[in-house]
Each structure stands twice: as structure tokens, then as C-alpha cells.
Amino acid sequence: MILRTAYTCIFLLYSYHCLAQSTNELDAALPEPRAYIPDSQYLDFVYHDHDELTRFLRATSARYPNLTALYSIGKSIQGRDLWVMVVSSSPYEHMIGKPDVKYVGNIHGNEPVGRELLLHLIQYFVTSYNTDQYVKWLLDNTRIHIMPSMNPDGFAVSKEGACDGGQGRYNARGFDLNRNFPDYFKQNNKRGQPETDAVKDWISKIQFVLSGSLHGGALVASYPYDNTPNSRICRSSALCAMFQTYSAAPSLTPDDDIFKHLSLVYAKNHAKMSRGVACKSATPAFENGITNGAAWYPLTGGMQDYNYVWYGCMEVTLEISCCKYPPAYELKKYWEDNQLSMIKFLAEAHRGVQGFVLDPTGTPIERASLKIKGRDVGFQTTKHGEFWRILLPGYYKLEVFAEGYAPREVEFIVVEQHPTLLNVSLTPSKRNEGTTVPFYRPLPLPQQHYRPSSPTTYSDSGIFSTISSGLNSLYSNIFG
């Protein structure tokens, strides 16, 4: 573990702070995480059904009470628990000032490689904590929430060896959970499903800084936006496949540099992904193993756009196997291909800027609205007044708004070696000052299909939607 004293001078437009603080950091000097030595006594490279998965998680949380905590965020339609395992040196309590991150596997029930790799990731973390400096650093400074399966009902009816096809993709009512979230660009009229509602509630309660959603059926890291304001002609995977009208136009977020970077971290630490070789001759090849979601094919109601737009959580969709449900004997190879990626990706939560928004007495201000100037997707402080934003090295301005306080703009720099620590204090506003937030900030209404102001209005009716909904299931297997 490296301890470095970081002197970070923060220039404020209205006043001036200079911080001198000692901070832990994920330094280049930290050795690479070691290879995992699988221990078949506890976890084999085979697929685990829901009961076996539950037993493994329970046994692990009992065996490693200081490093793990198991909770369920709700139940699937058929009553299966949606398990989440926290792995951290502080499993039961958020560490103030330190980020929470997550992985979600198996949102498509017939894409279970991620489900199994996440079990092995848990096993790897708990068995390496005392022997691997990198893992120890990561777990001492991060709470890692791991949901191996968001769609246990779909998994239950999926078939090992089925590389394509849609059986098991959907939840028990036939809904595609990665089309079931509120959408930034389009009205999403799909009825919210228990699995999706549970996830919405979960991410409204814990402010995740970084997230990966694991899929199969392709080999690529795909980043927001998944949807686009002008996806009318090719508004679904079905139509894109049918007319070969890939909307080549990417739909880029204001944080495109970060999303590309995060995707590259995954792809380049993966054994094959960054080579960008097509899975099959009929499927696209992705330069460097990454793509913008909409440039691949636009979709409405995806989870990653929701995470980013509603909660400022940077989520990337990780497509990790060309075959959706490969035979179990290949799982060990998938683990070896992904191990380093999975760990290095999470460590990216420690890049950028982090700090607190405080009032003049040093009391934290909850739900202050923040925005990096020029990047019009906002984020908020937690109840402890904390915030995090992943940023590449550079010079930035942070805009801070909170009801009853004068708005502020704070300048800061981000360096490569460690996160910039930035505390912002706000002074109470005079009358008629600074109550409106001048940028998009969705309200936290997790249980509703709240539709934020959309760049275009679009009527989701007519022949295109009819054709596409009929063909969606037919063609969905082409894509992750």
C-alpha cells in the first residue's frame, strides 16, 4: 500500500482553499493482482443453479464475516432472491468518503457467464485479501457490491450450450429487463418489473460511482448512451438487423472521454477483447473492443443510460462471451480472460475528483446538485455530503447548487496519480438567489416511470413499432 501526501491546491472563483492531505491511492507501484487459485472445495467452474448459488453466498458470508455481507434487494417474479454480496473491509457500513461500486450479472437470464465469474470474483477477493496487496488496497478503499444474477427466473429456463436464441433471456413475464428502465430519450411504456424496480430502488439508496453490467453474445465493452434522440428508423435491434440500417451515428454523453477510457480499461486488460475480432462473420468487429451503445444498435429502456443519467453512476455494458451460454468446461478460460479486467475496472472508481459539500459550520449538505462545467449531466451529494466524479487528468470547473445556498463554481485539477480531494463550502443565499438548478437533474423517483425532459418528442406508434415489437424476440439473440 502506498501512502502519499497529496498537496492539492484548489482555486475557487470566490475564495481560495489549499488542502494538504495524506491519501491512500492506487499507485502504479502497487503490484498487479495475482492470479486466482481456484479452490474446487468451495467453488467449481460449473454453473450453479439458484439454490447452489444461494448456498455458496451464505457459506461465504459465514466464512468471511469481516469481508462480506449478503443482502437481497427483492425477489424475482417466481420468488427467487435478488442477492447482492458486498465485498469490502467494511462490508456492513459505507466508508465515508470512499466509493461504492457494483457489478450486475445475468440481467439476461440466458447469458450466465457473468453470473459464474462474479461468484469466482467473490471467492478470489476473500481468499486474496491477506496475501495480495492490490486486492487488500481495493477492499480497504472500496465497497464492492456484486449481484451475480438480476434475472434468476430467466436463468432457470435457459439451456447450457445455447449460444444464440432468446429462451431464458426475459423474466418470467416475458419482459426484457434491459429494456425496462425509464429512458432519457424516449417514453418507455413498458410496465416496470419487480427485478427492475428492485434495482431502481437499490441504486436510489446507494450512490454507486461505477458499475459494470455483464452480458454474453458478443465480445465488447459498450458504453452510454444506448439510446439516441433520432433512432426512429432503427429504433430497435430488430429493425437494425432487418434493414441493416445500423444507425452509425453514435449517441455520445458529455463524459465520452471517461466512458471510452473505462471501456478501454476493461478491453485492454482482457485476454482478447481489445483485438476487436468479430465473433462471427455476420457480426460486427469493434475497434479496440469498445463501442458506443447506440452506434452498435440503439435501444430504449436500458440499464446503463438510467444509471448514468439518473444517478451519475458510470455504467458500462460488458459483453464477455461470443456464446451466450457456453458449456461449463469453458468457464475456467472465461475467468482467466476476464480476471484482470474485472479488478482493474473497479479500481477506476479512484480516479478523478471526490470530496464533500459543506455549510459554513462544516455540516454536510445532502442532495446538493453538482455538475462538471461543460458536461450537462449532473450528480448529487449523499447524505454525508459526499460526491465523486471519475475524470481524466485535466483542468475542470465544478458547479455546485443547493437550495438555500448561493451557487458556486470551483476550479480544480485532476492528475493521473491520485484523486483530487475537494471540499466545497456553501454560504446561505440571500433572497431570490440561486434556487433553480440550471441543468438537467432528474428527481429521484425510483418507483415511477418518470420521464425527464426529452430532447425530442417522438410518438412510439405506427408501423415501425409494430414490426419491431414482433421481431424483437426473434432478433434479440443477435445481440447481447
**Can you give the three-state secondary structure of the chain, one letter per residue?**
CEEEEEEEEEEECCCEEEEEEEEEECCCCCCCCCCCCCCCCCCCCCCCCHHHHHHHHHHHHHHCCCCEEEEEEEECCCCCEEEEEEECCCCCCCCCCCCEEEEEECCCCCCCHHHHHHHHHHHHHHHHCCCCHHHHHHHHHCEEEEECCCCHHHHHCCCCCCCCCCCCCCCCCCCCHHHCCCCCCCCCCCCCCHHHHHHHHHHHHCCEEEEEEEECCEEEEEECCCCCCCCCCCCCHHHHHHHCCCCCCCCCCCCHHHHHHHHHHHHHHCCCHHHCCCCCCCCCCCHHHEEEHHHHCCCCCCHHHHHHHHHCCEEEEEEEECCCCCCHHHHHHHHHHHHHHHHHHHHHHHCCEEEEEECCCCCECCCCEEEECCCCCCEECCCCCEEEECCCCEEEEEEEECCCECCEEEEEEECCCCCEEEEEECCECCCCCCCCCCCCCCCCCCCCCCCCCCCCCCCCCCHHHHHHHHHHHHHHCCCC
Near ligand NAG by CB under 6 A: residue from 13, 46, 55, 66: 66
CB of 354 to ligand NAG, least distance (A): 10
CB of 344 to Zn ion, least distance (A): 22
Check if 195 is active-site.
Answer: no
Near ligand NAG by CB under 6 A: residue from 21, 189, 447, 448: 21
Q: Which does 356 bind (CB under 5 to 8 A by kind): ligand NAG, Zn ion, none?
A: ligand NAG
Examine residue 215 and tell whether it contacts Zn ion (CB under 5 A): yes
User: Judged by CB, which is closer to Zn ion: 174, or 362?
Assistant: 174
Q: Which does 215 bind (CB under 5 to 8 A by kind): Zn ion, ligand NAG, none?
A: Zn ion
Tell me the window of 34-42, 203-211, 249-257, 354-362 that interacts with ligand NAG (CB under 6 A): 354-362
Examine residue 356 and tell whether it contacts ligand NAG (CB under 6 A): yes
Examine residue 19 and tell whether it contacts ligand NAG (CB under 6 A): yes
CB of 395 to ligand NAG, least distance (A): 20
Near ligand NAG by CB under 6 A: residue from 4, 32, 39, 65: 65
Tell me the window of 229-237, 291-299, 355-363, 432-440 that interacts with ligand NAG (CB under 6 A): 355-363
Near Zn ion by CB under 5 A: residue from 48, 108, 260, 375: 108
One of 315, 319, 386, 399 is an active-site residue; which one?
319
CB of 112 to Zn ion, least distance (A): 11
Q: How many residues bind ligand NAG (CB under 6 A)?
A: 9
Near ligand NAG by CB under 6 A: residue from 360, 362, 393, 438: 362
Near ligand NAG by CB under 6 A: residue from 133, 283, 423, 473: 423
Tell me the window of 4-12, 104-112, 194-202, 364-372 that interacts with Zn ion (CB under 5 A): 104-112
Residues interacting with ligand NAG, by CB under 6 A? 19, 21, 65-66, 356, 358, 362, 421, 423
Residues labelled catalytic: 319
Residues interacting with Zn ion, by CB under 5 A? 108, 111, 215, 480
